[in-house]
Chain A
């Protein structure tokens, strides 16, 4: 999170760099070639340049809206209903073992 006291209307974020693109690709679990880094940096910069019109607006007086309609504590009746069929769900998985999703070993765990 950025500093919540950053004043609106005076600071615009710095231009997107190649390093930013490489960093967000890592966060998004994507691997980019050198050519893709170049291309995406230029393209995303164009989009963010266009977004400068809103980044520079003074809107501190407005609350952010996450949804068009306010939803609160949406609960259905607590009645048991059948859930998805386990075999049907597992049939769509790339790899299954013993009725569970099978994945390669995680992190530094021994295989």
Chain B
């Protein structure tokens, strides 16, 4: 059964409600986990959200939560809530492939900090989700293990690179998911699948155990069916970690308590540069969201940040450059695939040639080129200057507004196969999400109605560094006024 595209929580219910029921002993974590696993067994053959389903581990984790409840101990804020984990998050002893042949069969010897935090909060890791290889892509078609299909429409992509986690949440397999967002890889699939997806401030969530793609851009963040659930998960993930040298020293206040405070007086910049290039139906939804915020008491004004127009080019030099360095570690020596060769170098070449797919090869070569003699200054250093330009443009915008509003993706979900042979067309999907990665700022995609094709549209809210509490508050107001929520209230009233 496909959940209503506009619906909030899936069959299992919201994470907030589930955790409350399980902590109160009204529902057992084991029963919830089995329900989730049954949904996966019934439908994931079609969706292919998961690369590895961790049935036994999930059942054991659920039993531990139930035992804690029975013993009167608090199992944590995510008690018994199933969570889908992107397959670039290290899970000790269980497969972590990053959607790549080069890591097929690898079992990490350590746990990502976010995974450890989830377990400590009582969450149940349901499995590892499909992704574009090493998170390079915007459709999940670059996975070495086959594409994921959009649960709203089997002929469409789920977006990417965290398409598996977005699809798992949209299909109702798990109320919560984790993804990583380097250029929009959480927000864009969230928009295309009709769920909430959020990228935190750079450094707010530890990346220890996240397999690196572009280290100055990567962030881990939540997927959920509601802003409230996303805030609940973010609050569990956020905080300092001494294992990550880019982790911010301070611990944040929880965002959940202030979620319902409304947007009275909040200054919202409707950013033309994050709207004008989008399809007309997407533009219309963003304008409706802006009107809804005005109706809720926010002060909405149109603003322009033309520097965002240079973000895409800068990103597609910086991210490949960092990737070419990060992916040098896949040399067939310490883990993953090895293809034999006469000497070590021949083995390195044979391993990488067989182990990486075409998009990874393109990016590694592009990055190597941008960093190579004669081009470093013209491409890489210049892209880093553009990054400074974009960061300053954000600072200027935030002198007059508290948050920015725009589209998440230029279109609704596109056909499988439509862009996979045209890298530049695929890259254009990230045009609205990239600026926040360059600046390290938080941003969130919230479902807001559908396009002319009936597929979900995502509206994006952007906030300055460490502005998560305001970000969630505005996102919550957008969600409350989304067509689906308005229709549901009307139905309830009649």
Which residues of A come within 8 Å of B, CB atoms?
1-4, 6, 8, 11-13, 16, 20-21, 23-25, 27-32, 36, 40, 43-44, 46-48, 50-51, 53-55, 57, 59, 62-69, 71, 74, 76-77, 84-85, 88-89, 91-95, 101, 103-107
Contact = CB atoms under 8 A, between A and B. Distances in A.
A54 B313 contact: yes
Contacts of B392: 62
Q: For the complex, would chain A's binding face be called helix, strand, loop or mixed by DSSP majority?
A: loop
B216 A50 contact: no
A16 B377 CA distance: 16
A23 B388 CA distance: 31
Interface stretch (B171-179, B184-192, B348-356): B348-356
A13 B375 CA distance: 7
A94 B379 CA distance: 37
A50 B316 contact: yes
Given A30-B353, A65-B391, A21 B365 contact: yes
A102 B224 CA distance: 44
A50 B318 CA distance: 14
9 contacts: A31-B350, A40-B361, A48-B369, A50-B312, A50-B313, A54-B317, A59-B382, A69-B203, A103-B333
Nearest to B438: A68
A54 B314 contact: yes
B374 A107 contact: no
B239 to A, nearest CB: 15
A92 B356 CA distance: 19
Contact of A62 (B332, B338, B389, B441): B389
B109 A92 contact: yes
Given A51-B316, A54-B383, A76-B242, A1 B376 contact: yes
Contacts of B373: 1-2
A3 B333 CA distance: 36
B399 interface: no
A24 B369 contact: yes
Interface stretch (B18-26, B156-164, B339-347): B339-347
A4 B378 CA distance: 10
Given A64-B388, A85-B109, A89-B109, A55 B378 contact: yes
B69 interface: no
B388 A63 contact: yes
